[in-house]
Structure 1
Amino acid sequence: MSVFVKPLRVFTCCALLISQVSTVKAQQVSDTISKKQDTLQLVDKKLKKLIYFNTPKNLSTGSSAAVSGDELSSTLVVSYPIALAGRLAGLTTSQNSGQPFNEGYSMRLRGQSPLIFIDGIPRSVSEIGIEEIESVTVLKDAVSLAMLGVRGANGAVSIITKKGISSGQKISFTSQWGIQKPIQNLISKQLDAYNYATLYNEALANDGLSVANNGFSQAAINAYQTGSDPLRYPNVNWVDEVLRKSAAVARYNLNTSGGNEFVRFFVNLEHFKQDGLLKTRDDINTKYSTNANFLGYFIRSNVDVKLTDNLSAGLYVQGRILTDNSPGNSGTESIFNSLRATPNSAYPVFNADGTYGGSAQFQNNIVAQGVSAGYSKTNTRTVLSDFYLKYNLDDLSKGLWVKARASFFSNLAENYIRNKSFAVFEQVDGFGTATPVYRQYNNNTDQANGNNIAFQNRSDFQEFSIGYQRDFGLHGFDAVVLANRDNLINGSNLPYTIQGISGHVSYNYDKKYLAEVSFSQSGANRYPDKGGFKYGFFPALGLGWNIHQEDFLKGNSWLNQLKLYASYGKVGRDNGAYYTYQQVYNASPAAIFGSSAGSATTIGESYLANPTITWEHAKMLNVGVDASFLNDRLGLNVEYYKNNYADLSIGRGNGSTLLGISYPNENIGKQDYYGWETQLSWNERKKDWGYFVRLNASLQNSKLIYNAEANQRYSWMQRTGHPVGQNYGYLAEGLFRSQQEITGYPTIEGYTPQPGDIKYRDLNGDGIINQYDQTTIGSQKPSLFLGAKLGFNVGGFDVSALFQGVINQEVYLSGNGYWEFQGGTAQAYQNHLNRWTPATAATAEYPRLTTNSGPRNGAVNNFVASSFWLRNGDFLKLRNVELGYTIPTKLTQKVGLKSTRLFTNGLNLWTLSSKTFNGADPENFNGTYPIERVFSFGLNIQL
């Protein structure tokens, strides 16, 4: 806790200062929330930088949405995508783990995984610190994406980094300290040893196996219940033994920006430290940490220079040093695998003599796995450099310019593994005596040291562009044409290169009638064609009408903007085929002809090549209306989109095994994604107070159009025409409550059902339940993703809250994260207490228990894919709450500070979800590393 002493002292002193000046009238200075509102409006209206062109939003026909980096910076996470949740229409962000630097986040833009651009150059999603971000813009339609050519069909996330300013210098220092507390998930619902043993014996009987030979004795069950003999009959709460109740996280950031008319600069330094939730034991090991910790150092320098009146240049450099620590050679994930696989009754943590407990079946003591198996570190080092030269050709023609830029990126992750093995001991005799007898499993070994390259890649990027922007009376033109090349070398793979020529032209008449054209002639080097590259042409057209500029609406005090716009075009998606058009052969085992004396080496295909493989593409339609009213206080945006994906690279579903080798992927698949998006905002600003509300909603649907599906006997078996990713299986009709229900019910092919088993619908009425009765299961309604940001400020105080929700989402519960006794002996959970028994036949919600073996193995029937395991996955989360206070400038200026702000921030504070999750987090309910609830305090000083 020492890390919190100094920050708390600072916070206390500042609080005393606040109390002393509480009677001072609030200054007429914008507080932090107001600044954030202004910044967002600036980003949204003026700085909505697309990837390659800067058409102002009011003159654009494209679909995009933006958020200011200042809105994200106080969220105490190392990965910025987590902070984007709920903020932008069309972009859905989820997180399924809380492990430091391995949060398991994902971003989907209109149902696809978007391409990430940082300052206009393709990058990995994680290659930027959150304090470096000026703005994040999502690009969603063909006009915005066509210039990306063969990799634009998934949409894009464009990140602009902070740059220098030409009016003086600013220095900002932020310290933020927090406590992480794990949010409940499935591993918190494990059964104690008594209930586990009772249910296990019941499952043995259900499966027709001998309880006397395979189960727990009554004496053992009684001892588990009373805790009378914890060494022979342990009841270990493994979650409490392995996981902490809380862990610390901290971030320190120092940045400065400034300049003059000749030089502008932005320099950022950041240190991030996050402790993991795994327990360590000083009595066992004090030489090194076995926790899942993360340590990161970030540096960025963006410098723009005006070399002459017409020539400017820029050099952007970023570096990262990241250290990711984990226990043992098997890592953090293996510990959670063990938590799901090990019952509380398996063995004691320690034997009477202090050795690790274990057994023939459970030889990997979980505590020892965490603290006595050594440790491993992954050190990641990243270097990025961008350089550009831009020449203004106003002397030749006003508004004409040329620009050249180049970039180099290198990333290396190296593992340092210092692992060792440990012995476990099972007491087999001498209970209650001074001389117990143990059986040993495994051995204690010295630490073994090694290292390897976990991951490495490097890329280089070159681009030359020429642009022209000028107004001729009522006619406005903005055009850019560029040629670029992006080359990536990933590990030992051959270089992957995308190159081509792209362009964009926008025209407006009197800022009233709008037209835009985007195009790209681009290709990649992993497809069959002459010269090693295969190119395609990707055009897009957009039209818009600023209705509020018409004479009959000018002068209206209630209407500030009303724009109709639409776009349509074709955009490519590179499927990453790795030279699969080339037929490759391998030497198969020797074939023997006649006798063992005669043999011949045979040659076979490694895979079946596809000489016509190419990229995928999408035809995108986007129609929208953008409006603002009442002096821009009320804003509204509504869009409809439909993206037709074709030439999808898939394997045929109607192939034959007679070929003897797998069919290659072919460009034959077709899918549609379509839906509605809306954003609604209200901003009210007064002299010394204000408030805002911003809402967004995305209705997303999809349909599988074609996937070369095998001919099905019945129409309900068809997957074509249903949503992409639709679940398939049997339609469950509850449980067999009694033997009488089974009698006369359709026969289950290859299985004799028992009372308590799941019963399925006989769709074809033939009296047999088999594969011909499988169909779509679960809802086919479109998913509705919701986000809301609201806040207010009074004087120097500001409060804001961020909500995220999803409706019409289903989750499939399976595996040893939900089912009982997987592998025969894995954990069981509280939901299994409501299983079917003769006594609970009328009310049970869970099938009869099974050990997954025996003549009446229930898993054969109950654990097949069916609608029984599909559950409501809807939720509403209070993602973030922030309370801040900006000290009046009259006080801060006396000590040379422009502003000082104290704030407290809460992440993942509250969740409303269905009873499916039984109190667990709806994004992390299956027993993996838990997501954290984070409470933090921060201090920001501006010089």
Structure 2
Amino acid sequence: MIKVYVNPGGVLWKSKDTQKTDRCKSWFSLFLILLILFPCSMLKAQTTQVTGTVVDDAKLPLPGVAVVVKGTTRSTQTDGDGHFKIAAQKTDVLQFSMFGKVTTELTVNNKTSFDVRLEASDFTSETVQFLYGTHKTKTFSGAVATIKGDDINTVGSPSSSNALAGRLLGLISSQSISFGNDASNFSLRNFSPVIIVDGQVRDIDQINTNEIAEISVLKDPASLAPFGMRSSDGIIVVKTKSGSAQKQTISFSAQGALQKPTYLPKYLDSYNYAVLSNEAARNDGSTAPYTQADLDAYKNGTDPNGHPNVDWLKLALKPTYNFTRYNFNATGGNASARYFVSLENMNQGGMFNVGSQDYNTNNDYNRYSFRSNVDVDIDKNTSVGLRLAGKFEKANSPGAGISSIMSALKSTPANAYPVFISDTTLLGGNSFYNGNIYGLINKTGYNRENRRTAFVDADINRKLNFITEGLSATGSVHYTSYYSNTVFRSRSNFAVYQLTVDPATKNKTYQQFGTNANYSSSNSYGNSFSRRLSFDGGLAYNHSFDKHGIDATVRYTWDQYDIGTSLTHAYNGIMGRVSYDFNEKLFADAAFSYQGTEQYVKGSRYGFFPAMSVGYDLAKEDFLKTSGINQLKFKVSGGLLGFDRASNYAYQPYYTSSSNAYYFGNSGTAMGGWNEAAIANPNITWEKSKVFNAGIDARMLNNKLGVTVEYFNKYRYDVLQTPGTSNTLLGLSYPDENLGKYRHAGIELGSDYSVRLGKVDLSLAANAQLFDSKVIFQDEVNRPYDYQYRTGERVGQPFGLVALGLFQSQAEIDVSPTQFGVALQPGDIKYKDLNGDKVIDDNDVTAIGKKSAPIYYSGSLGLKYQGFDFSAVVQGVANKDFFFTGINAWEFQNNGVSAGTVQNLHLNRWTPETAATATYPRLTYGTNVNNHRTSTYWIKDGDYLRVKNVELGYTLPSSASNKIHLSNFRVFVNAYNPLTITKLKDMDPEALFNFYPLYKSYTVGLSVKF
């Protein structure tokens, strides 16, 4: 039976049966849409069978070459011996294409057999996607990394950002959260880059991987300067797919995956918890809280109510949870109009073990997305494009909130309370623990957030050849709208019970804590919304004169962003870029922007950001033409970039009203009024960076081997920071000022190799990034010792105490300096007295940890053999350390109540018996003033190597797929995050201290083309 519960405001929640019915309706509607949008046409002309063989430069057969009748959906692939067979008409054109080979076209005419040789392609014939247009790679003198969308669309993750891990030189991707549309944090040369999708600043995770045509990572100043005061941290440019002039092609893909956490903490059972609790209490000079009878009961499990032993992680979290994704694409068109359409549905199951209630409290995530990209040539001189896209998301969660549940899992020991009182349905609990974890998941209702995002991009291009050959006018407008509303059907409290048994009468008493509150029934609309509107327009010029080529553009740009009820933030200005090349041997790029924002005082709102790059391809010289070197490009660039980090209208004073603003001698009674809440800084401005980049791009061995070396040096100044000195008499904090000066430098190394070995196609790639930084100036408080200043250290260098190990005896303590005025015991951490005053205090804090930055590296492997394909991507970090502190590391926080878990790592604590092998200090209850401090004792080795993605696929031979009326049929299995090699045993090295665990995913999928 289908049940729908309503109130005067509409449907609040539905039963599971209703949800299933809605999903069926959605898929039926989707099927009808596909039937309407993509009618199939029948081939009517008479055809004949064309056969042939395709070989490479060495005359070896090439399997897997795509053979397409141009302008139709008819296609096939060569078999293991390079043979092909396809139906064609005599007027048809056969197109032969393969990655790493030059695409070749041949007209059938009256021939029925062909011998085709595909030459190795010149990788430098590709183009780089810029902010406003493209640039030939072979004449590009900047620093860029690119990847095609088809290389990332089978990764078993709902996030596009996760799919980029380990694939682009210079871009570091670290997975950060793991719920629903989870994401990765990007770091590009130590900074968070701006992401631009189809011409507007957007989140890359707002589009799915099947929509992406190409991603370019811009790193050099000449490429970045057109973005003005938002350019210094780098830019990721994402271009979505467009249609092509061919008959309609429909593709469908389906993926199903099982996901599981990469790592979960290992908390001790009740018996070991009680043993360590007694030990900690004795160390503190207190009475042991557990008797021998308690220990026996925990060990034997004879009293589940009074002495419970609950594995909360096992109770709360499922061992695996599901992930599915379905995608339909259609593309086609003719010489005048082209289209690309995409529809996708993605579902990620929740990881909580939920009960059998009629409503869903799990953290499920569901997403529908669509895209329609259309390009039309109105006439031979005018073309327009329209890109429409949308995303509809539904994120469900328990009413208590995910973070509250995960926090409870980290802070509730196994013996805190039973899940249920035996032989009852009463939730266990007590005065200290009144939030039963099972109840938090199942008895607090649910919250359901519905999110809608819409994207509109329109552009027009008009050739102005009647003025001069190569001149054109162009303009575009971009709009993004985001809106969400949350349905709350939750309750703030529920009752828990503690059972007591009278030892004489055996009578049971159930003591109640808390009350069973009513479920709320409220809709909260418009709790989050944002809009962004952008426009750019100008002139472009592209023309060649004999051996000289010029490509130039100048544009006006305007971008406005509104979020919620906050004040508008906008940028506008002009940008220009000109590129010149001589015979593809000497080339140069110059770019600038003059941009401003209302966030600064009038008269100081605009800045000028120029940059230039030059390049020289030595391989074009005659003396190297027979050397086997296909490209040897030297390049250098430099420029001034900016970044706007100021808070809104920081140049203006800020006032607020208060009921107790002033005291005018009215017997100490406060009077209402307005008072200054923040001091203005009328001189505040944007941060600036002088950036230098130099590099070498080389390709050798008939383009089989490629090597890239990049060096960059960035000097940042006018960096906003809080002044180190202030006057407390003002009663307010000083505003941020442009005081900081920093230097960042590094080297990027990349290589790729592709070769054919017999019938096997092999491709390899490796990247490494070595970055470092230095604080040139930082306005600091006066410090008593030079070793305490941050200036001169690495940016972000941690400071703390230098640990000398653990005290082993009272005699050692007696001859050592005092430490923070506390009574020390053997097993406490011993610190180094840096200033020699025989007292350990904050004056002994200094720079600790590694003085050089981590080294990031990645690699990939690709293999193809006849219909089989295999790929793998790994990434890793070396020279990295981190501090293992807080609730994730320290024992019995909050005196063992409400944050009092202990883990396996605490078993190796210091005792007189384990003094020689202990890796953890003596145990204490709550915060230990001496031990629980930032020091070198808590530094752990954060190096790791992680297999990010492994995939094995098989493509059915065209002779077989054609029999079932398909042009392509492929099945694959994929593993995401399947293996990590690290010295860490107590957490995931990629997501330290996350409340929500990262996951590994095992996927089975298929893709077909019609």
Give TM class, smaller chain.
over 0.9
Aligned counterpart, 1:475: 548
Give the conservation status (yes or no) of the 8 Å contact 2:542–2:552.
yes
Cα offset for 1:475? Answer: 1.4
Change (3 A) 1:433 1:113: farther
State the AA in 2 paired with 1:51: L
Aligned counterpart, 2:274: 197
Matched-pair identity in %:
38
Aligned residue pairs total 901
In the TM superposition, what are the counterparts of 1:869-908 in structure 2 within 5 Å?
Answer: 869-908=938-977
- Cα deviation, 1:252-302, whole Å, max 9, x if unaligned, reads 0000111111001000000000102111112xx1x2111111100010000
Are positions 1:830 and 2:830 aligned together? no
Give the conservation status (yes or no) of the 8 Å contact 1:44–1:66.
no
Aligned counterpart, 1:502: 575
Cα offset for 1:60? Answer: 1.1
Separation of aligned partners in 1, 2:610 and 2:932 = 49
SS in 2 for 1:517: strand
Separation of aligned partners in 1, 2:459 and 2:882 = 48
State the AA in 1 paired with 2:694: V
Change (3 A) 1:358 1:115: same
Change (3 A) 1:43 1:824: farther
Aligned counterpart, 1:618: 689
Cα offset for 1:451? Answer: 3.0
1:233 to 295, 299, 307: 307
2:517 to 441, 445, 452: 445
Change (3 A) 1:65 1:309: same
Separation of aligned partners in 2, 1:578 and 1:592 = 31
Aligned counterpart, 1:76: 156
SS in 2 for 1:823: helix
Give the conservation status (yes or no) of the 8 Å contact 1:76–1:251.
no
Q: C-alpha root-mean-square deviation of aligned residues, in Å? A: 2.2
Are positions 1:428 and 2:495 aligned together? no
Cα offset for 1:53? Answer: 3.4
Cα offset for 1:490? Answer: 0.7
- Cα deviation, 1:820-848, whole Å, max 9, x if unaligned, reads 11112211111001111122122211011
In the TM superposition, what are the counterparts of 1:330-349 in structure 2 within 5 Å?
Answer: 330-349=400-419
- Cα deviation, 1:424-480, whole Å, max 9, x if unaligned, reads 001123479875211101111221022334421001111102110111112111101
Separation of aligned partners in 2, 1:382 and 1:456 = 10
SS in 2 for 1:54: strand
2:452 to 367, 370, 381: 381
Give the conservation status (yes or no) of the 8 Å contact 1:904–1:935.
yes
Separation of aligned partners in 1, 2:728 and 2:503 = 60
State the AA in 1 paired with 2:641: V
Give the conservation status (yes or no) of the 8 Å contact 2:122–2:703.
no
Change (3 A) 1:202 1:256: same
Q: Could you state the TM-score of these two structures normalised by the residue count of structure 2?
A: 0.87
Give the conservation status (yes or no) of the 8 Å contact 1:327–1:370.
yes
2:248 to 169, 173, 176: 169
Give the conservation status (yes or no) of the 8 Å contact 2:177–2:994.
no
Change (3 A) 1:408 1:365: same
Are positions 1:455 and 2:528 aligned together? yes
Cα offset for 1:599? Answer: 6.8
In the TM superposition, what are the counterparts of 1:625-704 in structure 2 within 5 Å?
Answer: 625-685=696-756, 688-704=759-775
State the AA in 1 paired with 2:632: L
Are positions 1:817 and 2:888 aligned together? yes
SS in 2 for 1:78: coil
Change (3 A) 1:374 1:27: farther
Give the conservation status (yes or no) of the 8 Å contact 1:153–1:572.
yes
Cα offset for 1:549? Answer: 0.9
Change (3 A) 1:755 1:306: same
Separation of aligned partners in 2, 1:160 and 1:598 = 63
Aligned counterpart, 2:88: none
- Cα deviation, 1:188-234, whole Å, max 9, x if unaligned, reads x10100111111111112122232xxx12221111111111111100
In the TM superposition, what are the counterparts of 1:770-919 in structure 2 within 5 Å?
Answer: 770-825=841-896, 826-852=900-926, 859-914=928-983, 916-918=984-986
Q: Could you state the TM-score of these two structures normalised by the residue count of structure 1?
A: 0.93
Separation of aligned partners in 1, 2:785 and 2:514 = 55
Separation of aligned partners in 2, 1:378 and 1:370 = 17
Separation of aligned partners in 1, 2:668 and 2:398 = 53
Show structure 2 runs of 5+ residues with no match.
1-16, 25-77, 86-96, 104-119
- Which protein has greater RCO, CA pairs closer than 8 Å, 6+ apart? 1
SS in 2 for 1:839: coil
Change (3 A) 1:265 1:538: same
Aligned counterpart, 1:66: 146
Show structure 1 runs of 5+ residues with no match.
7-22, 853-857
Change (3 A) 1:244 1:600: closer
Give the conservation status (yes or no) of the 8 Å contact 1:572–1:618.
yes
Give the conservation status (yes or no) of the 8 Å contact 2:862–2:871.
yes
Give the conservation status (yes or no) of the 8 Å contact 1:183–1:930.
yes
Cα offset for 1:711? Answer: 2.7
- Residue range with higher mean Cα deviation, 923-932 or 117-126: 923-932
Cα offset for 1:125? Answer: 3.5
Cα offset for 1:42? Answer: 9.1
Aligned counterpart, 1:16: none
- Residue range with higher mean Cα deviation, 110-119 or 706-715: 706-715
Give the conservation status (yes or no) of the 8 Å contact 2:766–2:860.
yes
Give the conservation status (yes or no) of the 8 Å contact 1:53–1:480.
no
Aligned counterpart, 1:206: 283
1:265 to 330, 339, 356: 339
Cα offset for 1:29? Answer: 7.1
Separation of aligned partners in 2, 1:25 and 1:770 = 73
Cα offset for 1:604? Answer: 3.0
1:113 to 188, 192, 203: 192
Separation of aligned partners in 2, 1:656 and 1:875 = 46
Change (3 A) 1:838 1:172: same
Are positions 1:572 and 2:642 aligned together? yes
Aligned counterpart, 2:352: 278
Cα offset for 1:603? Answer: 4.6
Aligned counterpart, 2:72: none
Give the conservation status (yes or no) of the 8 Å contact 1:234–1:344.
yes
- Residue range with higher mean Cα deviation, 397-406 or 584-593: 584-593
Aligned counterpart, 1:10: none
Give the conservation status (yes or no) of the 8 Å contact 1:518–1:541.
yes
- Residue range with higher mean Cα deviation, 756-765 or 423-432: 423-432
Cα offset for 1:910? Answer: 0.7
Change (3 A) 1:800 1:41: farther
SS in 1 for 2:429: coil
Give the conservation status (yes or no) of the 8 Å contact 1:633–1:683.
yes
- Cα deviation, 1:522-548, whole Å, max 9, x if unaligned, reads 011111114xx7100000010111111
- Residue range with higher mean Cα deviation, 635-644 or 595-604: 595-604
Separation of aligned partners in 2, 1:838 and 1:60 = 67
SS in 1 for 2:523: strand
Give the conservation status (yes or no) of the 8 Å contact 2:484–2:529.
yes
SS in 2 for 1:828: coil
SS in 1 for 2:222: helix
Separation of aligned partners in 2, 1:687 and 1:168 = 35
Separation of aligned partners in 1, 2:196 and 2:176 = 24
Give the conservation status (yes or no) of the 8 Å contact 1:43–1:68.
no
Give the conservation status (yes or no) of the 8 Å contact 2:79–2:866.
no
Cα offset for 1:554? Answer: 2.2
Give the conservation status (yes or no) of the 8 Å contact 2:199–2:478.
no
